[in-house]
Structure formats: structure tokens, C-alpha cells
Amino acid sequence: MKEIISAIIVLAALGVIFGIVLAVAAKAFHVQIDEREEEINDILPGANCGACGFAGCAACAGAIVKGTAEVSCCTGVGDDALNQIAEIMGSGPVERVKTVARVRCVGTSEDMKKFEYQGIHDCLSATKVGGGSPNKCAYGCLGLGTCVKACKFDALKIVDGLPVADERFCTGCGACLKACPKGIMELVPVDATYFVSCASQSNAKDTMAACKSGCIGCGLCVKKCPSEAIKVANGFASIDYEKCTGCGICAEVCPKKIIHKL
Amino acid sequence: MNLTGFISLSLGAILIENVIFSQFLGICPFMGVSKKMDSAVGMGIAVTFVLVLSSIVCWVVNRFLLVPLNIEYMQTVAFILVIASLVQFVELFLQKNIPSLYQSLGIYLPLITTNCAVLGIAIANIDRGYGLGSSIAYGLTSGIGFLLAIVLFASVREQMEVSSDFPKPFKGFPEAMLAGGLLALAFMGFSGLSVFG
């Protein structure tokens, strides 16, 4: 009997002592957390995609409250949610361009393969064999879906060997851009009208040898563009979507027909 | 404790009686937090940290409270109470004083509150009659054993993510169970190892 009573007393005493210690500790080690931080964290998507450059959504919310990050630094929130964040932070409504991910390749048919790749189903692994790519074009899409795996929003799908983003789900976070070992994914404004579907940095001769429709960087589109929206750099043409008016002259003059209407 | 004793104790705790692979303690975080290398390392370090602290506190509570009052049979209850409060306290302390450590351990600490590896090691310390020094050493090296196990397993799972050819029903948790079992089998190879006789 004595042991039972002493056990009850000791455990009760331990419990009370620890309770008091924890209560005191909670007061002594209290950390002031800004309410806004939690509110913003609730609005953010919670995918922790890291596109904002912070460790996760909670870190991003903290940075927004501290002012070290832009109110609009998260590309994953919708317009309503963005305005809610702006309201919490007391800044005016924010406008921004919605972008979607697109791949700068038109795909590789069987005769454009150097060999048949049968290894691990992953683009990065495929770049480790046969001089960087099973395709003749060193900048061609491998179509093994590393970008699809990187997408936190289930927006990408491989269709006919090329990743296609669903505009409804793509938030323009850019996770696929980082995952692509070839670096041929690009964020394009959702209302863009023309798109150069190639990012081959090889010279014109090598590009022509590898692919019938690759951009050879001839610069015809640059010369003909009335609004000076196209530039050729690193051997391929790129459109500046802020200047592009969507006239379509570039697509007409392109000898390779690699500038497509979206 | 001399150096030979320490080496034999730590080799035993890390390889021969690895908490996960031969004592089967702490399987929950082992399966749950081993999908990514980063989180596995975080969890392993957090467990090691808590194991050392709880080994000390539980040993003290047992030696100076439970034994004199002759109520060792309340060991389990008392230790759970001690460990849970201790982890809470450490969490509060880190949040205030070492925010960077709190950031990296933060989400894992509450998970360890009732981790059976922590309770198991605390009880093993008492059952084997270890002194305070040996208890700390055993807690630390068991933690390192846990870290080793979870890091090995995370690297296996990361590799499986891209390269395993399991049929669809085996994807995810079932294949992880198989891999974990094979890894435990591999660790059985250490069971014949004995240090300095």
C-alpha cells in the first residue's frame, strides 16, 4: 500500500513540477510571432515548391511580413489570394502576368535518335550516356518526364513525347525549369501569341544535321519584326513578350517554320 | 569508463544492436521520414540529440527518485512523463535561443516526444545497470546508429524513386517495407562481431 501511495505522490509531484517548469518556460522563452505571418501562410499554396527562393511557404510568409520579399513573390497563388495577401500587408492591389511553362522543342521522331535509350526512366540519367543525349540534337527534349515529376501542381503531362502544361493548373513557379537537365523549359505569358519552339545552341550546320525544324539563328525574324521584339542569342531566336504585338510576320518569314502560333 | 569499454559499447550500439535493425525500436520515423535525404538527416540528428538528453535525465530520475522510494515498477510511466516534458522544454528553449537549430529540427522534435527508441534506450540503460557515463555514451551511440540507419534507408528510397521496376501495387510503402527488411538482414551480418573478446 505504501508503495502505491508513494508512486501516486511521486508521479503527481513530477507532473506538477514539469507542468510548472513548462509554463514558466513558455513565458520565459516566448517568441513574438506576427499574426500576419500565419494569415499569409494560410493563403499560400503550401506546396513548398521553393520557386520564391525561400525554404518553403512558411519562410516565404515570414519574408513577406518582414518586407524582404515582394508581396507578389509567390507565383503559385491565384489573383484573389494575391489580393488578400496585399490586403493583409496593407499595400494596394497587385497586377502581374500569369505565365505557363512551355518546352522549346517540337519533339524528336525515330529517325532523329542516335540510339534507343533503355535505362532509368529519367532525363538526368539519359543525359549521362551517349555524349549527353540519345537524340541527335543535343538540345532536344528527352521526353522522359523529369519536369512532370518536378511539378508540384500536377500541371504537366507528356503528350507525344513532349511535356505539355495545363494552363488551369500551371502556376508558373518554374520548378520544371530547374529540373530540366537540358534547360529548354521556359515561362511564357499565358496570352502570348507566338512562340519559338527551339532552343538549340548548336551552330546552324549542326542544328540542320540533327533536326529538320530547328532554329538556325538566321535572324530573318529579327529583321522583319516591326516592333523589334525578337533577338537572336546563343544561336536561337527568342521573343520579348512585352514588345510582341502578335502580328505574326516572324512566323511567316521563318524558313524553318519553328515560330508557332499558340 | 575506459576507452576500450567505450569503443565496444559504441560499436555494439551502432552496428551489432542497431536500434532499428536489430532492436526494432523507432520504426515509425524510420518508415515515415525517410523519403528524402534532408529530412532523414534532420530526424536522425534530432533523435540523437533527444536520446542523449533523455538518457541523462531518466538516469537521474531513476537513481535519485524511483530507486530510493522503491517504485521502479513505475519506470515506464515516469520516463514517458520525463521525456515528453523534456522535449517540449527543449523545443521552447531552441525557438527562443537558437532559432536556426529550431528551424532545422523544429518539425521533427514533437514527433520524437513519444518515440519508442527514446523510451527503449532509457529503459535499456537502467536494465543493464549502466552508470551515468555509460548511459550518456549508450544514448549518443544509439542515436548515431539511428542516424546511420535512416540515412542509409533514405538513400535506398531516393534511388528506388527513379529506378525501381516494381509493379504498381508495390509502389511506395510496400517497396519501402521490402527494402527496409533487406537492409535489416544485411545488418544481421554484424551479429557475429564482438569487440575485444
Compare all CA atoms of chain A with the CA of B84 and give the residue at the minimum distance: A18
Residue B81, chain A, CB below 8 Å: the answer is yes
Q: A-chain residues within 8 Å CB-CB of B73?
A: 7
Last residue of a domain, one of A44, A70, A89: A89
Number of structural domains chain A divides into? 3
Residue A221 is assigned to a structural domain of this protein: yes
Residue A3 is assigned to a structural domain of this protein: no
Residue A24, chain B, CB below 8 Å: the answer is no
Residue in A18, A30, A55 nearest the CB of B85: A18
Q: What is the ipTM of this complex?
A: 0.72
Residue A115, chain B, CB below 8 Å: the answer is no
Residue A137 is assigned to a structural domain of this protein: yes
Per-residue pLDDT of chain A (262 residues; tens, 9 = 90+): 777 888 898 889 989 999 999 999 888 888 777 788 888 888 888 877 777 778 778 888 888 888 888 888 888 787 788 888 888 888 777 777 788 999 999 877 777 888 888 888 889 888 988 888 888 888 989 989 899 988 888 899 998 889 999 988 888 888 899 899 999 999 998 888 899 999 989 888 888 888 888 899 888 899 989 988 899 988 889 999 888 888 888 988 998 889 988 8
Q: Nearest-CA distance from B185 to chain A in Å?
A: 27
Residue A146 buriedness (CB in 10 A; 0-12 / 13-18 / 19+): buried
Say which CATH number the domain at A237 has: 3.30.70.20
Residue A20 is assigned to a structural domain of this protein: no
Please indicate whether, in this complex, the C-beta atoms of A121 and B74 are within 8 angstroms of each other: no
Residue A27, chain B, CB below 8 Å: the answer is no
Residue B18 is assigned to a structural domain of this protein: no
| CA–CA separation, B185 and B127 (whole Å) | 27
Q: Does the pLDDT at position B123 exceed 70?
A: yes
- Decide if A195 contacts A186 (C-beta within 8 A): no
The model's pLDDT over A20-69, given as tens digits with 9 standing for 90+, comes to 999 998 888 887 777 888 888 888 888 777 777 787 788 888 888 888 88
Q: Which residues contact B175 (CB under 8 A, 6 or more apart)?
A: B160, B164, B166
Same domain, A196 and A177: no
| CA–CA separation, B181 and B189 (whole Å) | 13
Amino acid found at A41:
N
| CA–CA separation, A45 and B112 (whole Å) | 27
3-state helix, strand, coil split of chain B in percent (to 5) is 80, 0, 20
Residue in B65, B97, B162 nearest the CB of A122: B162
Question: CA-CA-CA-CA torsion for B35, B38, B42, B43, nearest 10 degrees?
Answer: 10
- Decide if A162 contacts A177 (C-beta within 8 A): no
Number of structural domains chain B divides into? 1
Residue B41 buriedness (CB in 10 A; 0-12 / 13-18 / 19+): middle
Please indicate whether, in this complex, the C-beta atoms of A15 and B162 are within 8 angstroms of each other: no
Residue A122, chain B, CB below 8 Å: the answer is yes
Q: B-chain residues within 8 Å CB-CB of A23?
A: none
Say which CATH number the domain at A66 has: 1.10.15.40
Residue A138 is assigned to a structural domain of this protein: yes
The model's pLDDT over B1-58, given as tens digits with 9 standing for 90+, comes to 688 888 888 888 888 888 999 888 888 888 888 888 888 888 888 889 889 999 999 9
CB pairs under 8 A between A and B: 57
Residue B6 is assigned to a structural domain of this protein: no
Please indicate whether, in this complex, the C-beta atoms of A21 and B85 are within 8 angstroms of each other: yes
The model's pLDDT over B84-104, given as tens digits with 9 standing for 90+, comes to 888 888 888 888 877 777 776
Q: A-chain residues within 8 Å CB-CB of B80?
A: none
Residue B8 is assigned to a structural domain of this protein: no
Amino acid found at B177:
M
Q: A-chain residues within 8 Å CB-CB of B74?
A: 7, 10-11
Minimal CA–CA distance to B144: which of B121, B128, B163, B123?
Answer: B121
| CA–CA separation, A60 and A43 (whole Å) | 11
pLDDT at B135: 93
Same domain, A74 and A114: no
Residue A55 is assigned to a structural domain of this protein: yes
Domain of B99 in residue numbering reads as: 37-190
Q: A-chain residues within 8 Å CB-CB of B91?
A: none
Residue B21 buriedness (CB in 10 A; 0-12 / 13-18 / 19+): buried
Domain of A61 in residue numbering reads as: 35-89
Same domain, A204 and A167: no
Same domain, A110 and A166: yes
